[in-house]
């Protein structure tokens, strides 16, 4: 490997052939290696999703994006990248930091939620929901109020001692839509530019970042409602909370292919039993982010 770079993301020490912006430094022992190499066009016997962009089986998967290249992820330990002709490092980093490492985490037996997370007074608060729900905006508002950054969009969850669950820090990058960027970028001390992949503005967060995994205090499922004027919160209980968490698994269908689906179900049920889950409903327009933050923190 030429000019390797060492990082630590999602609680893993990563040795990478690419220099990846925003990823914090790490050192040996290396648990995951990211290398340039030959990658097959398909995996024999694999299940195929996303019109051929994903090929997967237990412990192995192949991602194929024409503008990026092919990425082979094996047993949560090795990531091989065959870049497309003329591919820039930014799209490669985008895929690695999202879908790529989500598959690594699933293969290693961790949960991966489509959620953003912030630490407040030594505990983690997660905001999950579909794309466009406002996860990054809500967490950015919490950061502006003094929270510590844990993750944006992809949150890795690992079991801890005594049956608890911990949110594991990722890398200090936040992606915001243009309207949220105008309101929040200066308040959280972040700088960045348009992401070439999804047209959001990717910001390098330069404020306080959580270094260690944080015990999870609350998970909020964020949704919008144009008929209400103020944000509101209500508990999600029992089987409904399990269902909300299962629906919010990041890249849920591929995750169930590359991981042990029984273990994923077991961990999701245990998480729902141990952690408070709320439905957090916000007005579609014209509300104060401060009030939303207060509901997240309870």
Model pLDDT for residues 30-41, shown as the tens digit of each residue: 999 999 999 999
Per DSSP, helices labelled H in the chain are 89-95, 101-107, 135-144, 178-184, 238-247, 252-258, 261-274, 289-297
Structural domain that includes position 173: 112-297
User: Which of the pair, 227 or 182, is modelled with greater confidence?
Assistant: 227
Of 150-164, 170-184, 216-230, which range is least confident? Answer: 170-184
76 with 170, same domain? no
Q: What is the number of domains present in the chain?
A: 2
Assess whether pLDDT exceeds 60 at residue 292.
Answer: yes
- Indicate the residue among 78, 108, 138 that finishes a domain: 108
Does the bond joining 29 to the residue before it have cis omega, within 30 degrees of 0?
yes
Name the one residue in this structure whose structure tokens are 């060492």. Answer: 6
Quote the percentage of the chain above a pLDDT of 90: 67
At 201 the pLDDT is 63
Q: Residue 42: count other Cβ atoms within 10 Å of its Cβ.
A: 12
- Under DSSP, the state recorded for 34 is E
CB of 139 closer than 8 Å to CB of 170: no
Of 84-93, 137-146, 197-206, 265-274, which range is least confident? Answer: 197-206
Assess whether pLDDT exceeds 70 at residue 194.
Answer: no
Q: Residue 239: count other Cβ atoms within 10 Å of its Cβ.
A: 10
Instruction: Residue 215: give its domain's CATH number.
Output: 3.40.50
75 with 213, same domain? no
243 pLDDT tier (thresholds 50, 70, 90)? very high
CB of 27 closer than 8 Å to CB of 13: yes
At what angle are helices 289-297 and 135-144 packed, to 10 degrees?
Answer: 90
94 with 120, same domain? no
Model pLDDT for residues 59-103, shown as the tens digit of each residue: 999 999 998 999 999 999 999 999 998 776 778 888 999 999 999
Which tokens belong to 40?
Answer: 């097959």
141 with 225, same domain? yes
Please compute the mean of the pLDDT values over residues 252-266 and round it to a whole number: 95
CB of 249 closer than 8 Å to CB of 113: yes
At 137 the pLDDT is 80
91 with 129, same domain? no
216 with 265, same domain? yes
Assess whether pLDDT exceeds 60 at residue 141.
Answer: yes
134 with 223, same domain? yes
- Indicate the residue among 75, 108, 141 that finishes a domain: 108
102 with 185, same domain? no
At what angle are helices 238-247 and 261-274 packed, to 10 degrees?
Answer: 130
At 180 the pLDDT is 47
Alpha-carbon torsion (225, 231, 232, 237), positive or negative: positive
At 237 the pLDDT is 94
Q: How far apart are CA 69 and CA 83, in angstroms?
A: 4
This prediction's pTM: 0.89
Assess whether pLDDT exceeds 50 at residue 197.
Answer: no
Which tokens belong to 65?
Answer: 């994006």
């Amino acid at each position: 490997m030429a000019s390797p770079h060492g990082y630590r993301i999602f609680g893993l020490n990563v040795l990478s052939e690419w220099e990846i912006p925003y990823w914090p430094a790490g050192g040996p022992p290396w648990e995951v290696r990211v290398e340039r190499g030959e990658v097959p066009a398909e995996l024999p016997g694999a299940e195929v999703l996303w019109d051929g962009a994903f090929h997967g089986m237990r412990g192995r998967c192949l991602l194929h994006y024409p503008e990026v290249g092919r990425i082979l992820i094996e047993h949560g330990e090795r990531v091989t990248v065959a870049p497309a002709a003329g591919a820039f490092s930014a799209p490669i980093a985008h895929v690695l930091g999202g879908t790529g490492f989500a598959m690594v985490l699933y293969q290693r037996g961790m949960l991966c939620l489509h959620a953003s997370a912030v630490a407040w007074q030594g505990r983690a608060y997660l905001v999950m929901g579909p794309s466009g729900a406002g996860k990054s905006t809500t967490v950015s508002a919490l950061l502006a109020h003094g929270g510590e950054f844990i993750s944006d969009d992809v949150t890795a969850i690992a079991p801890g001692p005594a049956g608890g669950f911990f949110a594991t820090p990722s890398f200090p990058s936040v992606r915001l839509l243009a309207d949220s960027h105008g309101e929040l970028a200066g308040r959280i001390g972040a700088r960045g530019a348009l992401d070439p992949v999804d047209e959001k503005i990717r910001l390098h967060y330069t404020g306080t970042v959580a270094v260690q995994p944080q015990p999870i205090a609350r998970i909020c499922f964020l949704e919008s409602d144009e008929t209400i004027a103020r944000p509101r919160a209500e508990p999600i209980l029992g089987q409904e909370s399990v269902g909300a968490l299962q629906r919010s698994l990041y890249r849920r269908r591929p995750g169930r292919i590359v991981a042990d689906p029984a273990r994923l179900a077991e961990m999701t049920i245990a998480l729902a039993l141990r952690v408070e889950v709320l439905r957090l409903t916000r007005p579609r327009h014209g509300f104060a982010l401060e009030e939303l933050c207060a509901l997240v923190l309870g």
